[in-house]
Structure 1
Amino acid sequence: MSEGSGGTSNEQQERERILRDLEDLADSLQSSSVPTFLDPLLSTDLTVRQLKVLTILVTSEEGATGRGLSESFGVSMASMSGLIDRLVAQGVAVRSEDPRDARVRRVKATELGRSVVRRLVSGRPELNFDILARLALEDLRALEQGMRAVDAEVNRGTDSPR
């Protein structure tokens, strides 16, 4: 019998209970980790708009053009150009020639830019090494198994071509 096919009534009730408990735990962890999570955001010199543009650059392997970014954000080319200049000056983005069209300049995130976004977006303070190191071995094994299952499911959902 497959995981999602329902199973017995007791299995379904247990599944629902566990899902409710996990939701409550996630809410508790999020509440208690907000100060730690916000620290990188509060310590950055980037504006919200700069962070939005940087996030687009990080998620696009080939980068973006200034024109494309200005259209996406509904701002003038001059405004976007100034914003990109500030990202480049802070070392989180770089301009380069488009390999297919020398007239076009592409903007890409640097490794520093990717690191900044990872720290801000992907930060999971509750998975901090110091916290994990205090867990019992049995709990670590269970967490690893659960995280592997979640990772596999997330990646299964993103395997389709875009």
Structure 2
Amino acid sequence: MSDNQATGQAGGERDERRALIDRLTRLQRTIGRFLAHDRSTPLLASSLTMQQLKVVMMLFFRGASSGQHLARGLGTGLGTVTGIVDRLVAQGLVSRREDPTDRRVRLVELTTRGRLLAEELIDAGTANYMRLLGRLDTETLNTLEQVMIKLQAAADSMLTESGRSAAH
């Protein structure tokens, strides 16, 4: 086989791979739209601002955090975060406590009510997803499980490369 033929095959494989990834992305988007309706219900029922929701979700995934850490995550100043946290405290979704390793730092963490809200937002749509999966035969479900395991491993690898750990 000549170098041109090998290059042509490699280029053709890359094109096929790119087209396959595009098709999979479109399919995922379609399924996502189907599931988004149920997922949006608790979100739309919430009276929280987008910044408040972001803080709740950051705390859910990262655990107790300092105001500085939250400010970096939101891309805002500490004063803005203080106001956001004050409103979340007033709603009973977060609390503040002293950092045991540095008493000068106040940590913000979810209350039970805040954790329940975050779980509700994450779990919304699960019932519809389960009904959707229930329409698939066992062989397809087994294949999907193997694919999902590989996707999770790839996601874990990407998170490790970026210096974060996956929240399971």
* Alpha-carbon distance in 1 for matches of 2:149, 2:17: 19
Deviations 1:92-131, CA, capped at 9 Å, x for gaps: 2121111122233211123543443354367565972222
> Sequence identity, in percent?
32
Q: 2:43 aligns with which of 29, 34, 41?
A: 41
Greater mean alpha carbon deviation, residues 33-42 or residues 124-133? 124-133
Residues 83 and 13 of structure 1: CA distance in aligned 2, closer, same or farther (over 3 Å): closer
Alignment partner, residue 108 of structure 2: 107
1:82-161 equivalent positions in 2, closer than 5 A: 82-120=83-121, 128-160=129-161, 161=163
Alignment partner, residue 57 of structure 2: 55
* Alpha-carbon distance in 2 for matches of 1:17, 1:68: 40
Maintained 8 Å contact 2:39/2:125: yes
* Alpha-carbon distance in 1 for matches of 2:120, 2:144: 22
Deviations 1:13-44, CA, capped at 9 Å, x for gaps: 65344323212211211233332221121011
- Indicate yes or no: 2:77 matched with 1:74: yes
Instruction: Give the structure-2-normalised TM-score.
Output: 0.70
* Alpha-carbon distance in 2 for matches of 1:127, 1:12: 35
**1:158 alignment partner, SS class:** helix
* Alpha-carbon distance in 2 for matches of 1:20, 1:49: 32
Residues 31 and 52 of structure 1: CA distance in aligned 2, closer, same or farther (over 3 Å): same
Instruction: Give the structure-1-normalised TM-score.
Output: 0.72
Unmatched runs of 5 consecutive residues or more in structure 2: 1-6
Higher helix share: 2
Deviations 1:68-99, CA, capped at 9 Å, x for gaps: 546742363xx544432331233321211111
**1:146 alignment partner, SS class:** helix
Q: CA RMSD in A?
A: 3.3
Maintained 8 Å contact 1:97/1:103: yes
Aligned residues: 154
Greater mean alpha carbon deviation, residues 89-98 or residues 137-146? 89-98
Unmatched runs of 5 consecutive residues or more in structure 1: 1-5
